[in-house]
Chains A and B, each alone.
Chain A
Amino acid sequence: MIHISDTATRHPKVFFWLSGLLALVMIALVALPSLWPASFSMLYPLEIDTDPENMLSRSEPVRVYHNDRKKEFSLYDMIVVGVVNDSHPQGVFNKNSLSHIHALAEFAKKIPGVISVDLMSPSTVDNIEPGGPGVVKFQWLMKQPPADDAEALAIRDKAQHLPLLNGTIVSADGKAVALYIPITAKNISYNVVEQLKVKIAGFDGNDRYYITGLPVAQDTFGVEMFVQMAISAPMAMLLIFLLMWYFFKKASLVVSPMIVAMISVISTMGLLVITGNVVHIMSSMIPIFIMPIAVLDAIHILSDFYDKYPQYKNRRKTIKHVMKELSAPMLFTTLTTAVGFASLALTPIPPVQTFGFFVAVGVVLAWLFTITLVPAYIILMPEESFADFGLDHTDENKNSPLARMLNGLGRVTYSGAKLIILAVFVLIGVAWIGVNKIEINDNPVKWFSPDHEIRVADRALNERFAGTYMAYLVLEGAGEESFPQFAEGLKAGLKSRNLPEMVPEVEAFLSETKDRKQLVEQLIQKMEQRMEAVSDEEWDNWDLALTWVGEYLGRSEIFKSPEVLNYMGRLQDYLQDTGLVGKSNSLADVVKTVHRELFMGNKEDYRIPGTRGAVAETLITYQNSHRPQDLWHFVTPDYKKSNMWLQLKSGDNRDMSALIDKVDQFFQDNPAPEGIHHNWFGLTYINVIWQDKMVSGMAEAFIGSFVIVLIMMTFLFRSLLWGVLAMIPLTFTIGMIYGIIGLIGKDYDMPVAVLSSLSLGLAVDYAIHFLARSREMRKKYPDWKTTSAAVFGEPARAITRNVIVVGIGFMPLLAASLVPYKTVGVFISAILVLAGVATLTILPALIRLFEGLLFKKDMI
């Protein structure tokens, strides 16, 4: 490494040209395909990915199942528009508001990408009701806007009378309306919402419109991510520059770490894009991670250079000294940081893998650029410009407040070592209490700050409606009897219905087909042919048998069975009682509602009729509506699989997890007919799955990188004892941070999970520098007491400068409007500051207490 630095100091200009060229090539490779995708189709353009679904890989079984079921039940991602009016006594159920809602629905239908036939709004859904004695009526709920407020109320009453609409389209208090706008793809939601907003802006009156739904949230991420990268990253850069300027008093000199940081960021992001990776919410944080890390090594070099220059008064000699002193710790800190991040590649979450891997790459690149460009830059500066540079050694100890403070701290760690260790134990105890209180939970909508319009809409709608978070529960039977059994049953049935002559026909077909449906169809055809010649009396018997054969095949349509539908009804009642579900919608509701309306709307007829035929009749009646296809959201046309749509008021993974357990419990306590088993899908469920993977994956990644770093430390110090010592500050820090998270009640979510691994690699840096320099210096001094005073000189100052620069360098993340960025900003800063403090207190205290053990004769 010293060799590379040496080469760099001999050919400084070449190194700058090469680095500059590299950055330009990277920019070109990204810009060309992004700006002119057609001409550069062989290159990967810059692509943004805002879909939390991508937290799971595309081939993940849960995700494959989710997408297959979505297709099977014709379900799409939905934009939810809520309309509220607090000034009118009837809420939005007045002439004016409903006219606007009508106009908005008509407008939305025509926006490209909106699935108009599945749009749910008062004007696009059907009302079924008795239309006088013996009459049943199907009509659009609100074909035309109401002529007056009384008519508006009538529309409300009708909608509230229909269980599928109440709480979904009309709020429980009967004052608000929600529109559900299905779209072909999530990535068009931003555009759709913009068009809706323009339309809404043209409405008069006091209605308030709230727009939410996961697709909207996701699309907004994309915009916020760019804002974050365009504002937070440059802000971090500016802050770091100002801090370094303050420390080293020489603007022209501190430009070099800035160049290192820029080139590292550009190269890393360039590599990310040109290797075909998309920029996800995780990878959008790469620049802001690399920026402070990239300057870490440069600060050590400059810090040392700043302190040593007055001794040599010669750039080249000083650099040589500095690089000799620092090259080993710098290499090791780089490797440990890289390992910490690279360990994220072990998690099963693709965006986290990409993030971890590329930050690791960036860290190594930053190291490479630091040890070449920073020395080269110093050489390129004229010697005269260093005339008054550096710490004045004659008066070192009193020179700066920082130096004085650190000197004092050094003495305290020596005299109060036992007290420090005692405090550490107390703190660990407190942290332990906190760690046990940690609650694992996440919710992508809560990634926005509480005052963001999406969160506002989310609250407004979930207060009034059954819930904007969707989960789907699929029910499926255990399957049918074997084909031979089926055929035997068929033959037996024909015999018992006085048609033994058909049995040989069945047997003849058996050689041709092994398909139930085909067999029955062939049999029916044969029977129909024979029937043509029989007498009227015989015909009736044949006709009955024919019906039986059809029904025999129809048994596989288990979701027409009253027993099954009643079971579903009980499950729904149970779901409602859990308090976790705002509302559930199922095939059972459809059957019950139609049944009630066929019987004059009597309350007591809101039930599942007693026979399969009666159920089939209610279902076919339902299909006489304007939207027969709505049925296929709840059941497959073969009636073998059913889908229950659950509306949840909370999108917290914690609540969804609790619901999953409750449903398992129900199936355990209430054995289902037809061997029915259940399965989940929907985004709310997907989120739980990737969170579980994240938590367990993170634990593995953390343990993995902990062990690797420990091995590296043992190798670096050629001693297990010293290796363990190096791990203590970061272990303490991470323990404390998680303790604090538990104590303040912050959920253990996606960003928090990522923090543990990445902080490990960063926090150990301070220990490496501290211990390496301590051991080095101990050789020159007789005991720890004197060594300590020296270690709390330049090495401690370098560490402190680093703590301050990096700790503050991440602060601009707080300016971001997305909560995960803020969380990362706050905690990474806290971790680094705490790790710095832990390093400068716990380590010297431990060394003081175990001096004899650590500095054996042979080790020195």
Chain B
Amino acid sequence: MKNILKTLLVMSFLWSVPASAMDVMDVVKQANHVSYYKGNDGRAKVNMRIIDAQGRERVREFIILRRNDDDTDGKQKFYVYFNKPADVKKMVFMVVKNMDRGDDRWLYLPGLDLVKRIAASDERTSFVGSHFFYEDVSGRGILEDTHVMVEENDTYYIVESTPKDPQSVEFTSFRSWIHKATFLPIKTEYYDNQGQKIRSYTALKVEMIGGYPTVTAASMEDHQTGGKTLMNYSAVRYNVGLPDKIFSERYLRKAPRKYLR
């Protein structure tokens, strides 16, 4: 946390800090943009370490490709190609994130020779056994919650978000610590209806890549089971020039090697 603040402090000098207080919706929009929409597209190699309460560790490694349809921070596509564990290599998870309806999600299981669509019913299920949810990977729509600025200090906007449809989620509210200079959420805590912290996300490392401040290490802790997942990003590149066609069912079975190498 200390290191990350140092990095962020350096970055603060690169951006002009807006002098006047911002509207909460603008903060949320900006945070959403820097978290999920940087550049036209992007790719990264992600190493995921899932650690349970007993300290037992499992590893997942995948390449994530992302492409924005346009520059409205709206529709976008993700292609997640698994390298590890070896027995699920070539497994692909693909998302088309829609603004007007639930996301379309596909799963390609090479061993079973199966392409499955995952019904949109619930995006708050575990992402391949980790403590991140599917929604954490592709981003939660900012209109799904009501946002209130609860505090603003020198470093952070602290925003409390309450779901508009409480039945669709497992939390009652969440709080985000959004870094003022970069608009990156550095910490997000989810609470249940008794105010107990049930999950928390922390950005562990931020680096400047291709001109964008990028979270390159993050963790998600589950305070109920006592486990956590660490994500490390490497080989991050923006504006790679990913073609739209690779985000299709056809490319699930025939992975676009060019962009995955």
A-side residues, CB < 8 A to B, are 71-72, 74, 110, 116-117, 126, 131-132, 134-140, 143-144, 531-532, 536, 539-540, 546-551, 553-554, 557, 560, 595, 598-599, 609, 611-618, 620-621, 623-626, 628-629, 631-632, 636-638
Contacts and interface: CB of A to CB of B under 8 A. Distances in A.
Contacts of B118: 135-138, 624
B253 interface: no
B101 to A, nearest CB: 15
A134 B167 contact: no
Given A143-B167, A550-B85, A116 B224 contact: yes
B91 A620 contact: yes
A422 to B, nearest CB: 70
A598 B116 contact: yes
A137 B121 contact: yes
For the residues of A in contact with B, the DSSP-based class is helix
A640 to B, nearest CB: 11
Nearest to A126: B125
B125 A134 contact: no
Given A139-B122, A598-B116, A617-B88, 18 more contacts: A117-B224, A134-B115, A135-B119, A136-B119, A139-B121, A143-B167, A144-B167, A536-B257, A539-B261, A549-B86, A615-B111, A617-B112, A623-B128, A623-B129, A626-B126, A632-B52, A636-B56, A637-B58
A539 B119 CA distance: 35
The 8 closest A-B pairs by CB, nearest first: A550-B86, A623-B129, A613-B111, A616-B87, A131-B119, A614-B111, A137-B119, A617-B109
Contacts of B125: 126, 138, 624-626
A613 B113 CA distance: 11
Nearest to A134: B117
A531 B117 CA distance: 33
A531 B112 CA distance: 28
Contact of B56 (A550, A554, A609, A638): A638
B256 to A, nearest CB: 12
Contact of A547 (B58, B89, B112): B89
Contacts of A540: 257
15 contacts: A110-B194, A137-B118, A138-B119, A138-B121, A539-B261, A595-B112, A598-B114, A612-B87, A612-B111, A616-B85, A616-B88, A616-B111, A617-B109, A623-B128, A626-B126
Interface in B213-253: 224-225, 227
A135 B54 contact: no
A71 B89 contact: no
Contact of A135 (B52, B110, B116): B116
B84 interface: yes
A165 B110 CA distance: 29
B212 interface: no
Interface residues of B, number: 40
Nearest to B168: A143
B127 interface: yes
A135 B105 CA distance: 10
B34 interface: no
A618 B112 contact: yes
A621 B56 CA distance: 20
Contacts of B109: 598, 614, 617, 621
Nearest to B122: A139
Pick the most buried of A126, A536, A554, A626: most chain B CB atoms within 10 A of its CB.
A626
Contacts of A550: 84-87, 89
Contacts of A624: 107, 118, 125-129, 134
A611 B111 contact: yes
Nearest to B260: A543
Contact of B129 (A137, A546, A620): A620
A613 B116 contact: no
Pick the most buried of B107, B112, B125, B126: most chain A CB atoms within 10 A of its CB.
B112
A617 B91 CA distance: 8
A515 to B, nearest CB: 14
B119 A628 contact: no
A560 B85 CA distance: 12
B111 A539 contact: no
B39 to A, nearest CB: 23
B126 A131 contact: no
Interface string B148-169: 0000000000000000000100
Contact of A138 (B115, B122, B257): B122
A468 B27 CA distance: 54
A143 B165 CA distance: 13
A560 B111 CA distance: 13
A620 B86 CA distance: 12
Nearest to B91: A617
B86 A554 contact: yes
A25 to B, nearest CB: 48
A629 B225 contact: yes
Contacts of A74: 53-54
A554 B87 contact: yes
Contacts of B88: 613, 616-617, 620
A110 B121 CA distance: 26
A637 B56 contact: yes
Given A598-B114, A611-B111, A626-B126, A71 B84 contact: no
Contact of A598 (B112, B126, B224): B112
A551 B56 contact: no
Given A117-B225, A598-B114, A628 B167 contact: no
Contacts of B261: 531-532, 536, 539
A132 B121 CA distance: 13
A135 B117 contact: yes
A611 to B, nearest CB: 6
Contacts of B57: 637
A560 B121 contact: no
A613 B126 contact: no
A620 B128 contact: yes
Contacts of B89: 547, 550
A613 B110 contact: yes
A625 B128 CA distance: 8
Contacts of B121: 131, 137-139
B129 A628 contact: yes
A116 B224 CA distance: 8
A636 to B, nearest CB: 7
A621 B107 CA distance: 9
Given A136-B118, A625-B125, A625-B126, A637 B87 contact: no
Contacts of A126: 125
Interface string B70-87: 000000000000001111
A632 B53 CA distance: 12
A549 B115 CA distance: 26
Contacts of B84: 550
Given A560-B87, A613-B87, A72 B129 contact: no
A768 to B, nearest CB: 60
B196 to A, nearest CB: 9
B219 to A, nearest CB: 17
B198 to A, nearest CB: 10
A126 B91 CA distance: 23
A527 to B, nearest CB: 12
Contacts of A623: 126, 128-129
A554 B225 CA distance: 27
Pick the most buried of B114, B128, B194: most chain A CB atoms within 10 A of its CB.
B114
Contacts of B54: 71-72, 74
A549 B84 CA distance: 11
Pick the most buried of B91, B126, B224, B257: most chain A CB atoms within 10 A of its CB.
B126
B125 to A, nearest CB: 5
Contacts of B119: 131-132, 135-139
Contacts of A144: 167
A617 B126 CA distance: 15
A632 B56 CA distance: 11
Pick the most buried of B86, B107, B116, B122: most chain A CB atoms within 10 A of its CB.
B86
Contact of B85 (A71, A548, A554, A632): A554
B117 A629 contact: no
A736 to B, nearest CB: 55
